[in-house]
Amino acid sequence: MFTVPLGEQPRLRLPAGYGERRCSVPKADCRLTALLVCLFVLTGESQGFTIVLEKSNLNVPIGGDAEFTVRPSSAIQDGTWNFKSKRIVLWIGTNPSIPAEYTSRLDLNFTSGSLTLRSVNESDSGDYKVTLTAVGGGQASATITLQALERVANVNLRSNNSEPVEQRDSVVLTCSSRGSQVKREWIFKNQPIQQNDTITISGDTLIIDPVDRADTGMYKCIVSNGLNSGNAETSLKVLYGPDNMEITPQSPLTIQNGEGLMLTCSAQSLPSPVYEWFNGAEMLSTGPVITIPSVRVEGGGKHTCHVNNTRTGRNINLTAEVIVLSE
């Protein structure tokens, strides 16, 4: 503001050399031009008043207090706070006007214009706009967004099938929790899980359809919001096989009459399969290894390993040809 002594006319300080310029328009228009320059100078000074926010976004637990901290660049004489275009406090100096529903919940710092809103609830979430007027003139506004949140708690991760069969079953993992405005992150083998042709993530569920043996392991769900986070884990064991079967030594195997014979059968399977050995229709033994101390000529021929996984319901066979040489 300009302070002008009584009986004197206000004087406008113009840039050096300005007065030397001639005005090519009528005198009245020249006076109007000078007035506009004066207003421009005044507006520029008022724009120097600013408000600095400690935080532009507040995440506060439901029932807690929200601290709207502002720092004006100079002393203030009045101001207002509005919530969703509704005025919740107006003050001039140290005289506030507060609606009845906010009277017991608001604390105002008249020096800075900072506001405290006590016992917030979800309906308090939204934008709060402060407008402050400086003592020397000038006005500024700023907006702070409040989210009143319920803390994350009781995170639980469960599976509809903890031991599915490979390429036959699907699995649904469900991550439940308490808390508002939560987001979920899924982790497998210390890496974030991304959607692909077999994995679908939607809301609180992760679906694997169909499962593969590579999906075996520990799964973690991390739930968080602007206040805190929590997590839960569950393990998945994918049943598979038997497959990738082999017999060692490799067939055909030639031995001398009366020589000992040992054959080892192996297959990839979860759980471990049942092994059975046959010579034709005759069962010789069970287990992955068959040992015959002395094989006669008539004991040669085809030795078949039968492998069965009782959990997957799958079975396979592999035959080794044993040739016994006579004397």
The residues spanned by each domain of the chain are 51-149, 153-238, 241-325
CATH topology of domain 153-238: Immunoglobulin-like (2.60.40)
* The pLDDT value given to residue 44: 33
Cα Dmax for the chain: 143
Determine the average pLDDT of the residues in 91-111: 95
Answer with the residue of higher pLDDT: 49 or 37: 49
pLDDT greater than 90 at residue 18: no
Percentage of the chain surpassing pLDDT 90? 76
Task: Compute the mean pLDDT over every residue in the chain, rounded to the nearest whole number.
Answer: 86
Strand partners, 47: none
Task: Tell me the Cα Rg of the chain.
Answer: 42
Element (H, E) at 27: helix 27-46
Strands 199-202 and 95-97: unpaired
Q: How far, in Å, CA of 71 to CA of 86, rounded? A: 22
What pLDDT does 300 receive? Answer: 83
First to last CA, the chain: 126
Domains 153-238 and 241-325 share a fold: yes
Helix (H, G, I), strand (E, B) or coil at 111: coil
Q: How far apart are CA 148 and CA 124, in angstroms?
A: 7
pLDDT at 281 over 70: yes
Q: Count CB-CB contacts under 10 A for residue 291.
A: 11
Architecture of domain 241-325: Sandwich (2.60)
Quick one: 51-149 is in which CATH superfamily? Immunoglobulins (2.60.40.10)
pLDDT digits (tens, 9 = 90+) for 156-193: 999 999 999 999 999 999 999 999 999 999 999 999 99
Give the model confidence (pLDDT) of 197-240 as tens digits.
Answer: 999 999 999 999 999 999 999 999 999 999 999 999 999 999 99
